[in-house]
Amino acid sequence: MANARRWLTKTLLGMLLTTLIGGFAGAMLVRFAPGYGVDERELDVRLSTKTITAIRRENAQQHNLALFYMHYLAATMHGDLGYSMALGRPVRELLSERLPETLTTVGVGLGFAWSLGLGLATAVVLSRDSSIDALASILAGILLCLPTAILALWFFLAHASTRLALGVIVFPKIFRYSRNFLLEARSESYVIAARAKGLSEIHIFLGHILPACAARLVSLGAVSVSLALSAAIPVEVICGLPGIGQLAWQAAMARDLCLLVNLTMVITAITVVVNSAPELLKKGACA
């Protein structure tokens, strides 16, 4: 029990450290990107010299990266995530408005991707029909080759829910991996023995094949969340979905340091938590 607690503490600390390093890496990239610290408003001919100077002074406050990050972390402890220069609003408000949109998009997309991917992989395993396998593999191959932007646009043009575009982007990977896992398990000796004993295909699938692949499918699930999150950025930008993907794009274009650091940390934290989940579950089951 003490070992498990020590392991859990170590894992949580590792996750926290990764998130903090992720945030700092994000901040560093923005800070040293060309065009950092400039503001489009500087080209507004209506603005007086005093106002332009004030805008420049405002942007110059975040020039010392280490100082910025320390102040940021100190403020974060008090629930203050800072202020978005580009959008003129507190980051906390922006995240609370946009995060649910992205989580919905990712949720719907992943639901669709898993239904289709695992469904087709199951059909391939159960039917033992090579034509279904060939058709499903060709479909996955084609979708894998198509750029995310084209798929997102196609869904928009087809009047379809653009959230599903995300599912179609993630589907090929889920199908390919889960198909391989299931086919590998199907050729195990105990599965052949079960079939020889006369068990039905459904029973074999549910009782022997699926449990054998469960751990790997859970890991695939974690990876698919990361895939969906990264695909959410172009999908939201192209389809105009107001989530954190679109926000990340706007922040990057405007070199909005505070907003980008927060977004990097949120995405890093989700990715780290989701990727650690299978191991946590495994340890939990063992304990």
Partner 1 sequence: MKTTASFLLLWISTLLTGASLSAQSANELRFSIHSFPKTFDPVLVDDDASETIRYLTGGVLIRINRESQRLEPELATGWKLSRDGRTITFTLRDGLRFSDGTGFGVADVAYTMNHLMDADLHSPTGDAFRVGEGKIAVKVLTANQVAITFPAAVVGLERLFDQVAIMSQSSPRKEMAVLGPYMVDEAKPGAVIVLKRNPNYWKVDSAGHHLPYISAIRLDVQPNRDLELIRFLRGEIHFINSLDAEYFEKVKAENPAAARNAGTSLDSEQMWFNQVPTAPLPAYKKIWFGSKSFRRAVSEAINRNDLARVVFRGHAQPAIGPFSPANQFWFNTALRPHPYDPTSARARLAAEGFYWRDGALYDSSGNRVEFSVVTNAGNRYREQMATLIQQDLSDVGIKLNVVTLDFPSLIERITRSFNYEACLLGLVNVDLDPNSEMNVWLSSAENHQWNPRQTSPATDWEADIDRLMRAQASSLDDRRRKQLFDQVQAIVWDQEPFLYLVNKDALAAIRPELHNVQPVVFRPQVYWNIEWLTLNAVVATRQ
* Residues lying near partner 1 in the complex (CB under 8 A): 33-52, 54-55, 87-89, 94, 97-98, 101, 108, 112, 115, 119, 153, 156-164, 237-240, 242-243, 246-247, 250, 253-255
Nearest to 151 by CA among 125, 122, 171, 131: 171
**CB 49 → partner 1: shortest distance, Å?**
6
**CB 252 → partner 1: shortest distance, Å?**
9
Residue among 47 and 223 whose Cβ is closer to partner 1: 47
Estimate to the nearest angstrom the gap between the alpha carbon of 87 and the chain centroid: 23
**CB 51 → partner 1: shortest distance, Å?**
4
**CB 241 → partner 1: shortest distance, Å?**
8
**CB 58 → partner 1: shortest distance, Å?**
9
**CB 165 → partner 1: shortest distance, Å?**
11
H/E segment holding residue 250:
helix 244-254
Residue among 19 and 105 whose Cβ is closer to partner 1: 105
**Where in the chain does DSSP place strands (E)?**
83-84, 89-90
Residue among 18 and 122 whose Cβ is closer to partner 1: 122
- Rounded CA separation 259/247 (Å): 8
Helix axes 130-145, 163-186, angle to 10 degrees: 140
- Rounded CA separation 169/92 (Å): 30
Residue among 199 and 223 whose Cβ is closer to partner 1: 199
Helix (H) and strand (E) counts in the chain: 12, 2
Residue among 229 and 241 whose Cβ is closer to partner 1: 241
Tokens of 41: 């408003």
Residue among 252 and 265 whose Cβ is closer to partner 1: 252
For residues 189 and 131, the answer to whether their CB atoms sit within 8 Å is no
The CA-CA-CA angle for residues 35, 148, 119, to 5°, reads: 145
Q: Which residue has the tokens 């023995």?
A: 193
**CB 46 → partner 1: shortest distance, Å?**
5
- Rounded CA separation 105/107 (Å): 5
The CA-CA-CA angle for residues 154, 232, 252, to 5°, reads: 115
Residue among 143 and 280 whose Cβ is closer to partner 1: 143
